[in-house]
């Protein structure tokens, strides 16, 4: 059986090698690169991200990642965002009073969580939707989070009954926030599956298995 080919997008942000190793362990052939042709032709594209929203957007644009994501999704080609790589898929992010435009794949604003302790660091259970393909077999497991910002409301409504509504997974730290999204070829997690032990490996295996 051919192993799916995955590109981890190298735009100067994210735990690239840990994501690469985690994906390889669950059955993918992985290349870490910013090469446009490789990213377009891969079976799956992973967009990681750590740090500030604005810095990640600057890095994404520097390697034409905004166009890459658009072109892949237009062709129904899978994309997985991780941590800030998920956040930049929304319309905008606000940090320290500064608003930065995101990729705009989903409506919503990434803002600082209203919580007594920030950053939110540690293991949390999540609430996936019924029938989630991404969380199959790990619906009740814990995942590892490191963040202070998140999206706290989901604004994309289903408008066509023939098209499945996005599946939204929630978590709670001070307030409810979006922990993951499954929306056709576009999936994303606020937590780090590559740092989430067996549960994270199972989730990545679910995603890699869907690439065939």
By annotation, the residues acting in catalysis are 83, 192, 194
Spatial CB neighbours of 57, under 8 Å, sequence gap ≥ 6: 88, 93, 100, 101, 102, 103
- Residue 97 region, left (φ>0) first, then alpha (ψ -120 to 50), else beta? left
Contact 199, 144 (CB under 8 A): no
Contact 68, 89 (CB under 8 A): no
Q: Could you give the CA distance from residue 1 to residue 159 in angstroms, rounded to a whole number?
A: 38
Helix (H, G, I), strand (E, B) or coil at 187: strand
In this structure, what DSSP letter does residue 193 have? G
Q: Which two tokens stand for residue 7?
A: 């590109």
CA neighbours closer than 13 Å in the CB half-sphere of residue 96 = 3
Q: Which two tokens stand for residue 88?
A: 């930049």
């Amino acid at each position: 059986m051919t192993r799916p080919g995955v590109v981890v997008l190298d735009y100067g942000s994210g735990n690239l090698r840990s994501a690469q190793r985690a994906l390889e362990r669950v059955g993918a052939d992985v290349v870490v690169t910013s090469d446009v042709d490789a990213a377009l032709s891969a079976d799956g594209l992973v967009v990681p991200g750590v740090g500030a929203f604005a810095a990640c957007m600057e890095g994404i644009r520097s390697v034409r990642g905004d166009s890459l994501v658009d072109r892949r999704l237009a062709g129904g080609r899978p994309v997985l965002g991780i941590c800030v790589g998920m956040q930049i898929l929304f319309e905008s992010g606000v940090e320290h009073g500064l608003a930065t435009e995101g990729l705009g794949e989903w409506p919503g604003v990434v803002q600082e969580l209203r919580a007594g302790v920030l950053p939110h660091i540690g293991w949390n259970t999540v609430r996936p939707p019924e029938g989630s393909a991404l969380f199959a077999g790990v619906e009740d497991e814990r995942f590892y989070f490191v963040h202070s910002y998140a999206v706290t409301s989901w604004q994309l409504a289903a408008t066509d009954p023939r098209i499945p509504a996005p599946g939204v997974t929630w978590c709670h730290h001070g307030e409810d926030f979006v922990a993951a999204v499954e929306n056709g070829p576009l999936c994303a997690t606020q937590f780090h599956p590559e740092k989430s032990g067996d549960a994270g490996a199972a989730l990545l295996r679910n995603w890699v298995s869907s690439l065939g």
